[in-house]
Amino acid sequence: MKANKAYLSLGSNIENREDFLKKAIFEIKKIAKIIKKSKIYETSPVGYKKQGDFLNMVIKIVTTLKPQELFEKIQKIERELGRERKIKNGPRTIDIDILTFEDTIIDEPNLKIPHPRMHERKFVLVPLLELLDKKEKISQWIQKKSKK
């Protein structure tokens, strides 16, 4: 099976935020090899403002899963860690998004890769740029999207 490189963003703003990030990473290690982890950044909420600040980070993984399989496993991890979707952009124990998956482009109702708003979100871009090799195509993609 082919090993696929992907970048995932992780965020939490329900206490204990750091523990939820650690638990998510522990679970992700069961489905993928983590190659690199960014530092953890504290950021203000986007969208729904009446909530606590987030801890955010990005990880680079390698997995043999297909994009939809990875998405389903990530959704399961979120549910197991108590993620509830009551308010759009509301508080959450953990949020895990697939930012990129190789050069794959997916535009389905439940899954969009590359993540359609990552170029607008500093809380994603700052930790992501920390992990990127200047030769990687994703950096060109982000630069192109940021100029629009």
Encode the chain (148 residues) as per-residue pLDDT tens digits. Answer: 789 999 999 999 998 999 999 999 999 999 999 999 999 999 888 877 788 899 999 999 999 999 999 999 999 999 999 888 777 776 889 999 999 999 899 999 999 998 988 877 888 888 998 898 776 666 666 665 555 4
Task: Catalogue the active-site residues.
Answer: 83, 92, 95, 97
CATH numbers and ranges of domains, the chain: 4-146 (3.30.70.560)
Compute the distance between CA of residue 128 and CA of residue 125 in angstroms, rounded to an integer.
Answer: 5
Angle at which helices 67-80 and 17-28 cross, to 10°:
140
pLDDT at 76: 97
State how far the Cα of 117 lies from the Cα of 19, in Å rounded to an integer. Answer: 26
